[in-house]
Amino acid sequence: MTITLWRHARLASFVGPQPWGWVDDGALLVQGDTLSWVGAEADLPTALHADAEVDLQGALVTPGLIDAHTHLVYGGDRAAEFEQRLQGTRYEAIARAGGGIRSTVAATRAASGAQLFDSAAARARCLMAEGVTTVEIKSGYGLSAEDEARCLAVARRLGRELPLTVRTTSLAAHALPDEYAGRPDDYIADAITWLAQQHAAGLVDAVDAFCDTIGFTPAQTGRIFDAARRLGLPVKLHAEQLSDQGGAALAARCGALSCDHLEHLSPAGIAAMRAAGTVATLLPGAYYFLRDTQLPPVQALRDAGVPIAVATDHNPGSAPCLSLLLMLNMACTLFRLTPEEAWRGVTVNAARALGLADRGTLAAGQRADFVAWHAEHPREMAYRFGHNPCHRVICGGVERTPA
């Protein structure tokens, strides 16, 4: 196992009480795929052995970025729907008229496995170019036993073939497919059967649902969650995006890893999330693209000490966004997060939203996922937008070559 010492970096470690977990002149010792020592150059143990040394010459180093909420696998696009919305038709109205998610379902079912893989891989590479080392990918555009499993298998294959960790989430309860029109409870019953099959095939790390007026009711969501818990799978929820359904409290009572969107989150939802330690994953790209005006209750989340994550929500309908760095900026400008909060949202709290304790900070014992930047300070990435200063990416101890 090779041991490499990365020296003379400015570290934003997100560990310890100081802002950013800042270390002025720091070093990282990488042993295989793990960080075995992290700290100030001045504190480097004298007896330390390394096979190789890299001088980072003062470059800024952060943990690898984690995009904790995406829908990367789907067919087609929704550019025509975007034009419709620009002419005044609302997102919900398009969905109710059979467009929206269901039009992507038709395109996804029509796509070959190779098409689904190639298009998703191209999207994943865009995220990776900005320093993303872990991504969560949801199903939810297949909505049949076969097509949901196909999309999850594509996501798993991305994790095997790209230098990137992929966590998969089953989101069969995303929309009601046409063949179940008027029979949402039958659909949920079938989706529960598929979930057990997906789980047996090793395709699922977590279970999600869309609890909203154009999605599923809290009762239907609860049935999916009960099934997930029987299988020992953690849950998360698209909650209170378009209306307050009490979904966040329901999810929190099921020990949810995260509740996502949350523009219409109530004080009761916040209290339940706080009690359960559930992460609030904010998705400023969807808020922006749908021209939403209802802000998520950021100050109340802060006051309650609910950890906040930030993600792209990449999907063809409400957030066709492939830049997690842009989400740092939008989380600050639109939601008034501080740059440090936004950064914690794509590192330490994003890891927590995925139930991963082995990443998201720079500390001994963590996976060696880190990024060196052409920047002095991470606040610059929250400040600029449309700019990518990513310099070098180390994923599991191995340096990634540029895509």
Footprint on this chain of ligand DI6 (rule: CB under 6 A) = 100-101, 104, 174, 210, 215, 238, 241, 286, 313, 315-318
Which CB sits closer to ligand DI6, 242 or 381?
242
Taking CB positions, which residue lies at the least distance from ligand DI6? 317
Instruction: Establish how many alpha carbons lie within 13 A of residue 103's alpha carbon, considering only the half-sphere containing its beta carbon.
Output: 18
Residue count, binding to Fe ion (CB under 5 A): 1
Helix (H, G, I), strand (E, B) or coil at 381: helix
Neighbours of 12 (CB within 10 A): 26
Instruction: Establish how many alpha carbons lie within 13 A of residue 100's alpha carbon, considering only the half-sphere containing its beta carbon.
Output: 20
The CB-of-140 to ligand DI6 minimum distance in angstroms stands at 7
Taking residues 109 to 148 in sequence order and writing x for each that binds Fe ion by CB under 5 A, - otherwise, the string is ----------------------------------------
Residue 189 corresponds to which amino acid?
Answer: A
Which CB sits closer to ligand DI6, 316 or 360?
316
The CB-of-255 to Fe ion minimum distance in angstroms stands at 20
The CB-of-349 to Fe ion minimum distance in angstroms stands at 17
| Distance between CA atoms of residues 5 and 99, nearest Å | 53
Taking CB positions, which residue lies at the least distance from Fe ion? 313
Neighbours of 255 (CB within 10 A): 13
Stretch that binds Fe ion, among 54-62, 296-304, 308-316, 393-401 (CB under 5 A): 308-316
CB-based contacts of 303, cutoff 8 Å, min separation 6: none
CB-based contacts of 11, cutoff 8 Å, min separation 6: 21, 22, 23, 26, 28, 38, 61, 62, 362
Q: Considering CB distances under 5 to 8 angstroms, the limit depending on partner class, which of ligand DI6, Fe ion, none binds residue 75? A: none
Helix (H, G, I), strand (E, B) or coil at 75: coil
Which CB sits closer to Fe ion, 291 or 374?
291
The CB-of-318 to Fe ion minimum distance in angstroms stands at 7
The CB-of-116 to ligand DI6 minimum distance in angstroms stands at 15
The CB-of-61 to ligand DI6 minimum distance in angstroms stands at 33
Report how far apart the first and last C-alpha atoms of the chain are (Å, whole number). 26
Which CB sits closer to ligand DI6, 104 or 170?
104
| Distance between CA atoms of residues 34 and 368, nearest Å | 5
| Distance between CA atoms of residues 207 and 211, nearest Å | 13
The CB-of-314 to Fe ion minimum distance in angstroms stands at 8
Q: Considering CB distances under 5 to 8 angstroms, the limit depending on partner class, which of ligand DI6, Fe ion, none binds residue 263? A: none
Q: Considering CB distances under 5 to 8 angstroms, the limit depending on partner class, which of Fe ion, ligand DI6, none binds residue 216? A: none
Which CB sits closer to ligand DI6, 210 or 335?
210
Which CB sits closer to Fe ion, 6 or 141?
141
Selected binder of Fe ion within 313, 340, 341, 369 (CB under 5 A): 313
State the burial class of residue 253 (Cβ atoms within 10 Å of its Cβ: 0-12, 13-18, 19+): middle
Which CB sits closer to ligand DI6, 188 or 394?
188
The CB-of-108 to ligand DI6 minimum distance in angstroms stands at 10
Residue 93 corresponds to which amino acid?
Answer: A
Which CB sits closer to ligand DI6, 27 or 68?
68
Alpha-carbon distances, residue 32 vs 10, 196, 228, 348, 395 (angstroms):
22, 35, 34, 22, 11
Which CB sits closer to Fe ion, 11 or 327?
327
3-state SS of 211-265? ECCCCECHHHHHHHHHHHHHCCCCEEEEECCCCCCCHHHHHHHCCCCEEEECCCC
**What are the residues facing 393 on neighbouring strands?**
371
Stretch that binds Fe ion, among 1-9, 14-22, 50-58, 309-317 (CB under 5 A): 309-317
Work out whether 240 is an interface residue with Fe ion (CB under 5 A).
no
The CB-of-226 to ligand DI6 minimum distance in angstroms stands at 20
Stretch that binds Fe ion, among 183-191, 200-208, 311-319, 363-371 (CB under 5 A): 311-319
Residues that bind Fe ion (CB under 5 A): 313
